[in-house]
A and B are shown apart, each in its own frame.
Chain A
Amino acid sequence: MEFRVASDQAVLVYLGEEIGLASHQRVCKLLRLLQEEPLAWVRNLQPAYCSLLVSFDPSQVDHREVESTLRRYEQRAGKMALPEPRTVEIPVCYGGEFGPDLDELAATHKLSALRVIELHSSRTYHAYFLGFAPGFAYLGDLPPEIATPRLATPRKKVAAGSVGIAGTQTAVYPFATPGGWRLIGRTPLEMFRKDREPMGMIAMGDEVRFRAITREEFVAWPLR
């Protein structure tokens, strides 16, 4: 466990140095304990792959006290039980107008577009955390054959439901936002709805699979 000052009102807690399930589990457990036994001075918690950003009210505590309290929490967090991961299936219509980067991505890896689709939908991904925008889940890890860096210049607007690839990660854009991930397809699902419980289609810790659907299935997909 390592601490770094993020700001005068926030500290970063590192529970590992790599993207992997072991350090991620420690993040999930510490987050869960902090949610079950909330501290009055915590303002916000932002989990990531192997870190947790803890924002606090500096009128109530200073960094020293925050760190010593979080150390005590972390010592107990190991015993926390995590909920069984849910399995979420995301239907995706790959390529064409929905996946404008699919062909180029396939060519870069000397693969056919079909093979990229096969590889992308062959794995069960782990939802590491939600960030960037409401309901945007960082999913990993991609089969190494299709891992591809972000676009050099992000798009000004990416359609909601777009499925993208960045490095060894994949994700679905819940909203039409700017974005630099390489787009290979689109889901007809609404990834985040404020009138649904839970609001996000994917929660931290879920297991996520992608299933290829046709354009006809995409168009006819019942909205819910």
Chain B
Amino acid sequence: MSSLMVENPGLLTTVQDLGRPGFGPLGVSPSGAADSVALRLGNMLVGNEQGAAALEMTLVGGQYTFPEGAVIAFAGADFGTKLNGRPVEMWIAHAVLPGGTLELGLTNEGARCYLCVAGGIQVERFLGSASTHLLSGLGGFAGRALRKGDVLQIGAPMQKIRRRRISPTVLEMLRPRKSLRVTQGPQADWFLEETTRAFYEGAFRVSEDSDRLGLRLEGASVAPKSTREMISEGVSLGAVQVTPSGQPIILFVEQQTAGGYPKIANVIGADLHCIGQLRPRDEITFARVSLEEARALWIAQEQLLNSGEDLFA
């Protein structure tokens, strides 16, 4: 079996796939790639199943060597990617010869870059998924972020790889947005009309205190009209909950599964991957769409991602 050696793990690099939905009754959130669209496209470039496990790097890339060689692709945010010291392109497969080294720097735009390897990263699965759940230390590689010296196993490549790039038109269509489209949250009626207006008309800054559990937003206070206690209930991915002090928090992939803060809005399925590319200090806005629009956007996006040959240039 071939392997990948971590020379430098960057800021926060974890093994992620498409997560483990279905274990809510155990209190386990799905986890999974923060930008699932990038992960899926990256895997397609190296001939993997869309949901194969890859490395998710956060803001700073790191350095990785392949003692036995590999076929790899970078997807997501551009961290300045180099193979054996020479710049290489994103969104296309590259052959790494035995002993070859990949090196990534700081992000130019966006928060997460995926290193997909033909054959996928092989780790012991927890509840059917290779995703790391950092909060509980479960899944992924030893339940934690990668460290210098870690050696990860790579699976056998699925098929012979045709070297091609994702079409620029497709990338443009799937480009992460900073204006997140939302539907009304289950407690939208807990907020005054002027508060709701402030929420949709204002801009919010992503706080430094943001991670895979949730993104705290800074901006106008959008406090609910009463401070009455809410009975805790299940919370959905992308929910925008508001603390009593009026701070909105977007619940993300490693979210707690239940909570007692009112939710003013919920990011639509088609824009969830955009959350994964938000960096601290990024400015974002919210745009309300109807359920029908949200559903149509989701179906169109899934059709695009599953359109096979049409994805490639």
Residues of A at the B interface (CB closer than 8 Å) are 4-10, 12, 17-19, 31, 35, 43-53, 55, 58-59, 62-63, 129-138, 167, 174-175, 177, 192, 194, 199-200, 204
Task: Please state if B237 and A7 are interface contacts (CB–CB under 8 Å).
Answer: yes
List A contacts of B256 (CB < 8 A): 131-133
The CA-CA distance from A49 to B231 in the complex, in Å, is: 7
**Interchain CB contact (< 8 A) of A194 among B126, B234, B235, B295:** B126
The winner among B28, B133, B185, B239 for most chain A CB atoms within 10 A is B28
For the complex, is B258 an interface residue (Cβ under 8 Å from A)?
Answer: yes
Shortest distance between the CB of A149 and any CB in chain B (Å) = 9
The CA-CA distance from A57 to B229 in the complex, in Å, is: 31
Shortest distance between the CB of A163 and any CB in chain B (Å) = 17
Task: Please state if A134 and B183 are interface contacts (CB–CB under 8 Å).
Answer: no
Residues of B95-152 at the interface with A, using a CB-CB cut-off of 8 Å, are 126, 133, 135-138
25 residue pairs from A and B, CB less than 8 Å apart: A5-B184, A5-B186, A6-B185, A6-B263, A8-B295, A12-B186, A12-B233, A44-B23, A46-B235, A47-B24, A47-B25, A48-B231, A48-B232, A49-B231, A50-B231, A51-B234, A52-B234, A59-B298, A129-B25, A130-B25, A132-B258, A135-B27, A138-B232, A175-B137, A199-B26
Instruction: Annotate B1-37 by CB proximity to A: 1 below 8 A, 0 otherwise.
Output: 0000000000000000000011111111010000000
Given A12-B186, A55-B21, A133-B135, A6 and B236 touching (CB < 8 A)?
yes
**Interchain CB contact (< 8 A) of B22 among A43, A53, A133, A192:** A43
The winner among A18, A35, A129 for most chain B CB atoms within 10 A is A129
The CA-CA distance from A62 to B77 in the complex, in Å, is: 33
Residues of B248-270 at the interface with A, using a CB-CB cut-off of 8 Å, are 256-258, 263, 266-269
**Interchain CB contact (< 8 A) of A9 among B22, B30, B138, B298:** B298
The CA-CA distance from A192 to B138 in the complex, in Å, is: 10
For the complex, is B238 an interface residue (Cβ under 8 Å from A)?
Answer: yes
List B contacts of A31 (CB < 8 A): 25
Task: Please state if B257 and A59 are interface contacts (CB–CB under 8 Å).
Answer: no
List A contacts of B184 (CB < 8 A): 5
List B contacts of A5 (CB < 8 A): 183-184, 186, 291
Task: Please state if A43 and B21 are interface contacts (CB–CB under 8 Å).
Answer: yes
Task: Please state if B236 and A53 are interface contacts (CB–CB under 8 Å).
Answer: yes
Residues of B at the A interface (CB closer than 8 Å) are 21-28, 30, 126, 133, 135-138, 183-186, 229, 231-239, 256-258, 263, 266-269, 291, 294-295, 298-299, 302
Task: Please state if A44 and B136 are interface contacts (CB–CB under 8 Å).
Answer: no
List A contacts of B257 (CB < 8 A): 46, 130-132
Shortest distance between the CB of B249 and any CB in chain A (Å) = 13
Task: Please state if A45 and B25 are interface contacts (CB–CB under 8 Å).
Answer: yes
Task: Please state if A131 and B186 are interface contacts (CB–CB under 8 Å).
Answer: no
Task: Please state if B21 and A194 are interface contacts (CB–CB under 8 Å).
Answer: no
The winner among B30, B294, B295, B302 for most chain A CB atoms within 10 A is B295
List B contacts of A7 (CB < 8 A): 183, 236-239, 266-269
Question: Closest 5 A-B residue pairs measured CB to CB?
Answer: A53-B234, A46-B234, A131-B258, A130-B27, A8-B294
List A contacts of B266 (CB < 8 A): 6-8, 10
**Interchain CB contact (< 8 A) of A58 among B138, B238, B295:** B295
Given A48-B231, A194-B138, A9 and B269 touching (CB < 8 A)?
yes
List A contacts of B298 (CB < 8 A): 8-9, 58-59
Task: Please state if A48 and B295 are interface contacts (CB–CB under 8 Å).
Answer: no
Task: Please state if B27 and A8 are interface contacts (CB–CB under 8 Å).
Answer: no
**Nearest B residue to A10 by beta-carbon distance?**
B236
List B contacts of A45 (CB < 8 A): 22, 24-25
The CA-CA distance from A177 to B236 in the complex, in Å, is: 21
The CA-CA distance from A134 to B27 in the complex, in Å, is: 4
The CA-CA distance from A106 to B256 in the complex, in Å, is: 29
List A contacts of B137 (CB < 8 A): 175
Given A44-B22, A48-B232, A133-B27, A58 and B185 touching (CB < 8 A)?
no
Task: Please state if B294 and A192 are interface contacts (CB–CB under 8 Å).
Answer: no
**Interchain CB contact (< 8 A) of B24 among A44, A59, A138:** A44
**Interchain CB contact (< 8 A) of B136 among A6, A55, A131, A175:** A175
Task: Please state if B185 and A8 are interface contacts (CB–CB under 8 Å).
Answer: no
Shortest distance between the CB of A18 and any CB in chain B (Å) = 7
The CA-CA distance from A18 to B230 in the complex, in Å, is: 10
Given A7-B183, A59-B302, A175-B136, A131 and B295 touching (CB < 8 A)?
no
Shortest distance between the CB of A82 and any CB in chain B (Å) = 14
The CA-CA distance from A195 to B95 in the complex, in Å, is: 38
